[in-house]
Structure 1
Amino acid sequence: MRLLAFIVGLFLSQAVFATPDTLFLLRHAEKRDGINPNLSEAGKARAEHLVSMLKDKKIKHIFSTNYNRTLETVKPLSQKLGIVVTHYNPRQLTALVKQLKTLKGNTVIVGHSNTTPQLVKLLTDHDVTINEDQFDELFVIEGGALTLLSSNN
């Protein structure tokens, strides 16, 4: 009986401390001006390009803040893959990290020029920055290792 309890406990603890295979973190694509703006034409093109970059990456989860620019950035990918986008609160990144650590499978998280670097820091302890005019950085976290790719390719 103790052995069974140990095995169940071990299984549950691994589920709690599991991490997704690969995390893809990015800032929303280029936007128009205004409050809660939509994507510009360049942003729409980048969102479509993200589909070609990520469609074969075995994505299982997509997270986005609930703003037009972030949702429109992942909409083509979520439609292509048939994955419902999960909204997260950009003011509660620690809660998002806890949620991410319970997932299995590759995950895309789209945020903003301030929240994406904060997430990278929480997940890897690396400091990164995104300038206000940068929309092409794709941060890849796999096994705790951080890689920077460009969504211009």
Structure 2
Amino acid sequence: MKKFILFFFLSLIFSKATFAQTTEVWIVRHAEKDKTNPEDKDPNLSDEGRIRAGDLATFLKKTKFDVAFSTPYKRTHQTLDSLIIPKVVNYNDPKSLVDSVKKNYAGKTVIVAAHSNTVLEIIEAFDGKRPKEMLTEDDYDYIFRLTVKDDNAKVKMDQFGRPHHL
């Protein structure tokens, strides 16, 4: 009987380790937006932003995404346009985004297009450690890769395209 109980508990531990899936989450701020009309609350990308969106595609050319998440703004969607993604889902807040990824896309590769004031908040919502204290209005060249397993996220920060920070 003791052997059976030991076998049962070892099986439970092994199955938990086997079924815990790793989700890869890439988070990027939208590329440079057109600022010619300060009244426009939903501007397109600027020429520079379209170049950066292409640079993003080049940076991620070997990554196959299962899904993308974007806020419902033109600039976040346009940032993702150069990537080949089978499905783009709108989100409105970091909590609903994280809940959706954990519930529906565990074990998948996901990209999120966000804003300067939400990128770091999203990383923390995935239980990742904030890699920078803040992002400024000029920080368009950072990209963050999260490796999420259970309630633990490892964060790697990188840069792509023309650097703002030399």
Instruction: Give the TM-score of the pair, scaled to structure 2.
Output: 0.74
Distance 1:93 1:83, change over 3 A: same
Q: Aligned-pair RMSD on alpha carbons?
A: 2.2
Give the Cα separation in 1 of the matches to 2:85 and 2:155: 27
Cα deviation, residue 55, structure 1: 2.5
Structure 2 residue aligned with 1:140: 145
How many residues align structurally? 137
Matched, 1:68 2:77: no
5 Å-filtered alignment, 1:1-150, equals: 18-20=21-23, 22-33=24-35, 34-77=40-83, 81-89=84-92, 92-102=93-103, 103=105, 104-127=107-130, 128=132, 129-143=134-148, 144-150=153-159
1:148 counterpart letter in structure 2: M
Distance 1:19 1:95, change over 3 A: farther
Give the Cα separation in 1 of the matches to 2:22 and 2:44: 32
**Kept after mapping to 1: 8 A contact 2:25/2:111:** yes
Distance 1:82 1:125, change over 3 A: closer
2:147 counterpart letter in structure 1: E
Give the Cα separation in 2 of the matches to 1:150 and 1:134: 10
Sequence identity percentage: 29
Runs of 4 or more consecutive aligned structure 1 residues displaced over 2 Å after TM superposition: none
Instruction: Give the TM-score of the pair, scaled to structure 1.
Output: 0.79
Cα deviation, 1:123-147, whole Å, max 9, x if unaligned, reads: 1342332111110000111242111
**Kept after mapping to 2: 8 A contact 1:31/1:37:** yes
**Kept after mapping to 1: 8 A contact 2:66/2:87:** no
Cα deviation, residue 69, structure 1: 0.7
**Kept after mapping to 2: 8 A contact 1:50/1:151:** yes
Bigger proportion of residues as helix: 1
> Gaps (5+ residues) in structure 1?
none
**Kept after mapping to 2: 8 A contact 1:29/1:44:** yes
**Kept after mapping to 2: 8 A contact 1:124/1:146:** no
> Gaps (5+ residues) in structure 2?
1-7
